[in-house]
Homo-oligomer: A and B are copies of this chain.
Amino acid sequence: MTEAKSPASSRRPLTLRDVAEAAGVSEMTVSRVLRGRGDVSEATRRKVQDAAARLGYVPNKIAGALASSRVNLVAVIIPSLSNMVFPEVLAGISEVLDETPLQPVVGVTNYLPRREDKVLFEMLSWRPSGVIIAGIEHSDAARAMLRSSGVPIVEIMDTDGEPVDAVVGISQRRAGREMARAIVERGYRRIGFLGTKMPLDHRARKRFEGFTETLGKHGIEIEDSEFYSGGSALAKGREMTAAILGRSPDLDFLYYSNDMIGAGGLLWCLEHGLDVPGRIGLAGFNGVELLDGLPRRLATMDVERLETGRMAARIIAEAASGERPSKRRRIELQPVLQPGDTMRPPRD
């Protein structure tokens, strides 16, 4: 059966007026029915709904938004989608916004400040009801845009600094410090660090700073380190582990800046018969679900990504629904050490 050239396929999209004429009422009445606002008699309501459905009317939110100056979009700005951390935060955001009329719109910056500025500018030009943005480090321009946007802003995943408005997440420095403490408590002393070559990843940098700071207090310095960029993180974890242990075979702990390279390192160590966690301990960062299926559970630090997303979304949703802003503008979640099977127990 060939598609008949139905009227619906004419190039001009339908307007309220079309529905109004088809239903024999005013545009205003159609508008009320379609938004479920105001009093409309059951009879006209049905007439209108029938007409709209029959014609296949899709409202024009552009016009609606302009007229009402209400836009049910929440800008969500994150550095990447390929690091599973961010989709998980997004899941938390969606979960909460699904209960509201708000909708998330995602922008990706690839960790580039320039792109962040641009993405933010683009999104703000759609006049969203709120902004959730990863990190607390932004260009002056970005901070100015956020400040003068007039909508609620939630910076997430890093509380080390001054937020523009609200902030939800963990202290990355503290996460680094706590991991260092856990390692030292467990008697490891010769420590290697493996991470990404990403000067622009402020969260990784702060973790590293916190980590070295606490080691320093115990008179320990990182003995060797390896950095990578690009490629399959699992494979890189293997390569880097081989390289660092080739150079510095006496290391007794390897701290990886993310779970994926940590998993690669774990596989390498097991294949090479190293005694984990006796001879050498391993830890990653993030607590990604993936780890559950590894031969041993890699030690890691869970950062409550889902909850971060949820709380950020709640702040926006509250503000958008006109509630007076809650007092809690700064929510610091606690990173939770999961020692898994790749760290020996603490000495007492």
Contacts and interface: CB of A to CB of B under 8 A. Distances in A.
B125 A60 contact: yes
A58 B124 contact: yes
A293 B237 contact: yes
Interface string A223-263: 00000000111111110000000000000000000001001
A9 B6 CA distance: 51
A290 interface: yes
Given A103-B122, A233-B293, A294-B267, A58 B145 contact: yes
A67 to B, nearest CB: 9
A127 to B, nearest CB: 6
Which of A6, A71, A81 gathers most chain B CB within 10 Å? Answer: A81
Given A108-B94, A147-B9, A293-B238, A62 B56 contact: no
Interface string A281-295: 000000001111111
B290 A234 contact: yes
Contacts of A236: 293
A90 B81 contact: yes
A292 B236 CA distance: 9
Nearest to A87: B81
A144 B290 contact: no
A156 to B, nearest CB: 17
Nearest to A122: B103
A92 interface: no
Interface residues of A, number: 61
Nearest to A7: B148
Interface in A50-91: 56, 58-63, 65-66, 71, 81-82, 84, 87-88, 90-91
B81 A127 contact: no
A137 to B, nearest CB: 18
- Classify the secondary structure of A's interface with B: helix
Contacts of A60: 125, 127
B91 A82 contact: yes
A176 to B, nearest CB: 25
A99 interface: no
A289 B84 contact: no
The 9 residue pairs across chains A and B that have the minimum distance between CB atoms: A234-B293, A235-B293, A232-B292, A81-B87, A235-B292, A8-B148, A61-B125, A232-B289, A264-B293
11 contacts: A60-B125, A60-B127, A62-B62, A62-B66, A82-B91, A232-B293, A233-B290, A234-B292, A235-B292, A238-B293, A260-B290
